[in-house]
Amino acid sequence: MMDAPTLQIAGLRTVFRIAGGDVAAVQDMDLTIAPGETVALVGESGSGKSVTSLSIMGLLPKRVGRIAEGKVTLCRKSGEAVDLAGLDEESLRQVRGNDIGMVFQEPMTSLNPVYTVGEQIAEPIRIHLGKSHREAAADAVRLLADVGIPDPERRAGQYPHELSGGMRQRVTIAMALACNPKLLIADEPTTALDVTIQAQILDLLRKLQSERGMAILFVTHNLGVVAEIADRVAVMYAGRIVETGPVAEVFARPRHPYTKGLLRSVPVLGQAVALKRAGTPLPTIRGNVPSLRNLPKGCAFANRCDYAIAACSLAMPPLVEATPTQKSRCIRWQEL
């Protein structure tokens, strides 16, 4: 079991009931994360990144969202492999916070304003590890020190509003790591932070991963962050993975027009000034992401793609092996 993937998603299809019908927010999702590996999930807003993470955690909105197909297999700390998609709510509670930790984009949405941060970190330790209040409180202080918060004894007795944004995010990381999970899901954890604090959080995650050997699913739209922290990247568009592979290979030689467009749109230092002087606009991807209620029959990216041909509109391309380590959902990947 030591060599088993920490997380293996196969054929995941997540749907939401809207106006009496089901709309698929995630389709044909296959993804594997090995122990100690960081996989980044990237794409524009609405591509299905956060829905994927909520599907894994079993936090889809009740009566509206559900996993319609597929398996989400987690290798727990005990070595047991479980399909999270088939667990009831009580079983999921035993997994959340214990085997899987999650860091959300905005810490104030996941921190309770009426409890001290020490109490909130100690809670999962008491629930999942069965420790006493005194032992859990001591562990909370240690965790605050582990995530780089100075004077952790004093900070443990403070409330979320008394901390800075960077400190609050460190507290949520401490909460997610309280029970030493096998998998950490970080859903855009640095988006609301300035670049200096962002760099500190990324360094912290790398350090903690190295010490604990956990797997990380890092959800983001920031390709610079992906280059900084991830081993592999999966690019999502309109609910599907369109390209996947090692970060260095995908960034050096993208095999899907959408990935190529994303990389081309990243501002380069000094480029904006030069383009402005030349009267040339910054590179962008034209058009908008299609509505999930009315996806085209063929490739969802075809109407925005510079490489599109008639065949692209006939059927959804499969995710094919472009190289032994890289896959693309494009019929013209060889020409990119």
What does the pLDDT read at residue 1?
A: 41
Distances (CA, A) of 271 to 239, 260, 274, 278, 279: 32, 18, 5, 11, 12
Based on the fold, state whether residues 109 and 13 are members of the same structural domain: yes
Note the pLDDT tens digit of each residue in 88-112.
Answer: 999 999 999 999 999 987 788 889 9
Task: Kindly state whether residues 192 and 301 are assigned to the same domain.
Answer: no
Count of the separate structural domains present in the chain? 2
Same structural domain for residues 274 and 218? Answer: no
Asked if 53 and 183 sit in the same domain, the reply is yes
Is residue 193 domain-shared with residue 277, that is, in the same domain?
A: no
Q: Is 193 within a domain? A: yes
- Integer Cα distance of 186 and 205 in angstroms: 10
| Residues 191 and 288 placed together within one structural domain of the fold | no
Distance, in Å, from the CA atom of 42 to the CA atom of 237, rounded to the nearest integer, reads 9
Residue 96 sits in the same domain as residue 201: yes
Quick: pLDDT tens for 12-30: 999 999 887 899 999 999 9
Residues 130 and 189 in one domain: yes
Both 103 and 218 in a single domain? yes
* Structure confidence at residue 318 (pLDDT): 95
Do 85 and 213 share a structural domain?
Answer: yes
Whether 156 and 77 map to the same domain: the answer is yes
- Output the domain CATH number for residue 186: 3.40.50.300
Nearest to 142 by CA among 127, 156, 123, 161: 156
CA distance 37 to 183: 10
**Same domain, residue pair 74 and 185:** yes
- The predicted-structure confidence for 314-336, as pLDDT tens digits, reads as follows 999 999 999 999 999 999 999 88
User: What's the domain range around 306?
Assistant: 259-335
